[in-house]
Amino acid sequence: MQDRTCYKLTQEGERLFRMQKYEQGIDLLKKALEVGTDDFSLLSAIYCQLGNAHTMLKDYEQALKFHTYDILVERLLGNKQGEAKSCANLGNIFKMKGAYNDALTFTFKQLEFAEELEDKILKSRAYYNIATIYVERGRCTKLEAAEEKNDAKNVEATSDFENAAKYFKLNLEVAEKLEDALTMGRCYGSLGNTYYCLGDYDQSIHFHNLRLELSQQYGDRASMRRAHANIANCHALKSNMPLAIQHYKTAYNLATEIGNKTEEAQMAYSLANALYIGKEVQKAITYFQRHLKIARSLEDISGQLRSYYSLALSFNNLSERRKALYFLVLAKRSSLQVNDTSAITDIDNLLSEILEAGQEDVLIDDIELIIDESADPAPAEIEHRELRLTFFQKRNINDRPVNTPEDPLAEDRYEKEEFFDMLAKLQSKRMNDQRVDASVLNSNLDFRVRQTDTEPDNSSTDGSEVLIDLILNAQERRMDDQRAPFLPGLNPNGQIILRRMNTDPGNEELDDHLVEWLMRVQSQRLDEQRSELPPIKPEGQEELDKKKEEDVTAIVMRMQAGRLEDQRAHLPNIPTSKN
């Protein structure tokens, strides 16, 4: 009866998960654990579902905890297929947390199980998982290298991308043998993205073309759109703008057919940028306006900011400065709303350029802008204060220009006097490379964005501690029947079964083996966090340090050995009755 209730609660929880009602499903599965069961397979399913649900809610610590319980149950059952599944889940969570070394530890363990079981499908998945971890770590390292101007990190990133390509190709080989078209398409796209990250755009185009051909065979328009967009990105970076424009147009049309407004806006913006760089400015304006329309409908302030700035840049290129200033005012407003300091700097530079080209046509009394809103199909309301040059002095939304007189009649005099100082300040900030049209590559267009077949998450983690603490605490709890159960949800009958499993000679090293394996993850993390010793040491200090290290190691090993031995659980001796 108890098992049946636990099973029904589990079924209902899984139904809620399918409806994406994760919090309600988690509550039901936790009730199932409170009811309890002695069915280890059911317990494993509950842990796995709870881990997956917490992952969807981005509660990674809870996800790690339940997937760790799951891997312990699978180990107890001797289910290597289940252990491999748990390794994949743990690796995925660590990847999302940005703990890439831990993620690789578990995912390579998944590959070991796949090879031992000679399971081609499991091996294919492991190859893919390993490759995606290398890609994400490479991207993070590449960004750090750019920020720090660190050549060594660039080398590390390149190595990660090369490893990713290696495992994607291994994944592809298995998929081709299995004639798995879905996995083949995914590998083609992923290899295209990886070579894109390596800067090998010809190879990237080759694999994206293979992805395109396959998606055309199956009529997969979403995959076709991604392939065209990725091919266009490569051609743009090769400065082949006619081909880039061709593929962006196809991607835009596919996004429109599919009806995904976010993707349609993305493709409109990319196409507009390509047209601008290709000197087709009037056509570019049309697509920037389409992007703006969608961004407004989605209430996407950042998207609107990009459109406003791009339109200001385009109209300035056509010497229609009043139209440019209209969009520049709106860009300034949006940049303050989202506190985008980089955009504020770009806006300052463009304002300086417009005023330098002919302030007499765009200024009243040297303090107030003259704008033309006719190029906006749905003109926005602009407050009078936003037309004054002092509005462009604001660095955040709450700023008031320093030393502005409170007397309204004095404000005009103040602004007129400050105008020339402000203009000189803006001019001094302008970089020479922003004078030419190609500035859109820096200010407006980032073709070097991640391509669209893999997804990242880059936060840091101390998740290994959760796993190690959990395992070690679980062993301690096994010492006493009266304490909380080793596995939550395991009823008293299940606890008896568990003790028998743990005293079976074949399972004698069950937990020790798992602890040893997980300790390797912890060891890696601790090694990475070690700080370097000072480079200069007193004479003889090195030998002394070495002796101390050996002494400490010996002590720790003795303590660890004693602790593990003390924690082994054994069935109590049953006294024989005397006749």
pLDDT on residue 567: 46
Q: Is the pLDDT of residue 287 over 80?
A: yes
Cα dist from 56 to 10, 17, 21, 326, whole Å? 18, 10, 10, 43
Mean pLDDT, range 396-401, rounded to an integer: 61
Residues 346-379: pLDDT tens digits? 999 999 998 888 777 888 877 889 899 999 999 9
Mean pLDDT, range 247-272, rounded to an integer: 96
**pTM of the prediction?**
0.72
CB-side neighbour CA atoms (13 Å) of 389: 27
Mean pLDDT, range 2-12, rounded to an integer: 86
Of 484 and 102, the one with more pLDDT = 102
pLDDT on residue 491: 79
Q: Is the pLDDT of residue 459 over 50?
A: no
pLDDT on residue 226: 96
Query: What percent of the chain is predicted at pLDDT more than 90?
Result: 58
Q: Is the pLDDT of residue 239 over 90?
A: yes
Binned at pLDDT 50, 70 and 90, residue 493 comes out as confident
d(CA 45, CA 58) in angstroms, rounded, equals: 20
pLDDT on residue 413: 43
Binned at pLDDT 50, 70 and 90, residue 406 comes out as very low
Mean pLDDT, range 48-72, rounded to an integer: 93
User: Residue 180 carries which side chain, given as an amino acid letter?
Assistant: D
User: At 115, which helix (H) or strand (E)?
Assistant: helix 100-117
Identify the weakest region by mean pLDDT among 16-20, 263-267, 534-538.
534-538
Q: Is the pLDDT of residue 28 over 70?
A: yes
Mean pLDDT, range 317-342, rounded to an integer: 93
DSSP 508: T
The residues, any chain, with a CB within 8 Å of residue 93's CB and separated by 6 or more, are 51, 55, 60, 63, 64, 67, 463
Q: Mean pLDDT in the chain? A: 79
Q: Is the pLDDT of residue 387 over 70?
A: yes
The angle formed by the CA atoms of residues 13, 15 and 20, to the nearest 5 degrees, is 90
Q: At what angle do helices 492-503 and 510-529 cross, to 10 degrees?
A: 90
Mean pLDDT, range 448-458, rounded to an integer: 39
Identify the weakest region by mean pLDDT among 33-42, 144-153, 416-425.
416-425
Identify the weakest region by mean pLDDT among 20-29, 237-246, 359-368.
359-368
d(CA 83, CA 76) in angstroms, rounded, equals: 10
Binned at pLDDT 50, 70 and 90, residue 240 comes out as very high
